[in-house]
Amino acid sequence: TDVSAVIGDVLILDLVVPEIYRINGHSADSLMLKQLRYIDGFWYPSTAFMRDLPGEMHLATEPDTRFDIRKQTSFQGMRTLDYSSNTNDMDLYLEASGRAIEAKGDVLMLAEDLPTRFVLELTEDFGMRVESSGSGVKKVYVRQTDVPAMPGVTIERVEVVGQNLKGATIHIHTLPGEYPIIVIDDITDGRLVATAEAYVQPGVIEPWLNPVFGDFKMEGRAVLLDAQFTGIVPTASSVGVNGIVTDLSLVGSLSGEFVETRHIMVIDPISSALASGLAMIFG
């Protein structure tokens, strides 16, 4: 048996068990790795727990070190994940304090029945790509908390729940006035639910409002418009407040999973301002 592991801001785990010692392709029922980092007088934990370990596995998660201030910065420095194995039913639990892995915010990830190949990476043009083999990841849940987005804006919580996800490519384009448009391509199947909670300080975002608002903090509401296209044909649309729900299983089943869809998401500034104002008034 050959086991090697490196943990910290980088987690690398290689496991190889000779076939003679494997049971139905598996090597062990479970494995846990835990690390505590002592920073500024406090201990910060990071934990990895795996169940139904394959006979051969290679797992690596680390921050991407490619940076270019001339390009979109939303995904620059993101944590990548590269996983490969000889089975398609391992469950993975990752939890880490941001200080433990030198990242913004705390991270929690749960994945059920990882396929033999699963990759989360930064694209050449600084988008984000998710790829998996077979029928994709059966279930996945990712949560990130206490993330400073920009001066005056703190993302209290962002959560993503997915089912039967095979792959997607995400790009964020910024129009004049820092107006974002989110484009998700290469989707063939699966369900996805995303939600977020953020707090804003108007007096910090716009200095001229500081005499009025000071350090006042309020809950921010974003109205998200989602248009779905199959090829060049619009096939669905939806509206969400601080979140979005999409189900691609019907499109995939009708097309034999050969048709890729595209989602274009924009934030409506007028409705968002109205929703934030109502949230401030009515709580």
Contact of 15 with 27, CB cutoff 8 Å: yes
Q: Are residue 96 and residue 211 in the same domain, yes or no?
A: no
CA dihedral 34→40→41→45, nearest 10 degrees, is: -10
Rounded to the nearest integer, the mean pLDDT of the chain is 76
Q: Which of 58-62, 145-149, 213-217, 242-246 has the lowest mean pLDDT?
A: 242-246
pLDDT at 100: 77
Q: Does residue 117 lie in a domain region?
A: no
Task: Give the residue numbers spanning the domain of 214.
Answer: 135-142+150-283
Tokens of 2: 């050959």
**CA-CA distances (angstroms) from residue 10 to 5, 111, 261?**
10, 19, 34
A 10 A CB-CB count for 130 gives: 22
Please give the tally of structural domains in the chain.
2
Whole-number Å distance between alpha carbons of 109 and 48:
10
Q: Are residue 154 and residue 281 in the same domain, yes or no?
A: yes
Whole-number Å distance between alpha carbons of 126 and 1:
38
Bin 136: left if φ > 0, else alpha if -120 < ψ < 50, else beta. Answer: left
A 10 A CB-CB count for 230 gives: 17
Q: Are residue 154 and residue 41 in the same domain, yes or no?
A: no
Q: Is the pTM for the entire model greater than 0.85?
A: no
Q: Tell me: the pLDDT tens digits for 175-212?
A: 665 566 778 777 766 777 777 777 777 778 778 888 88
Residue with tokens 């790795």: 33
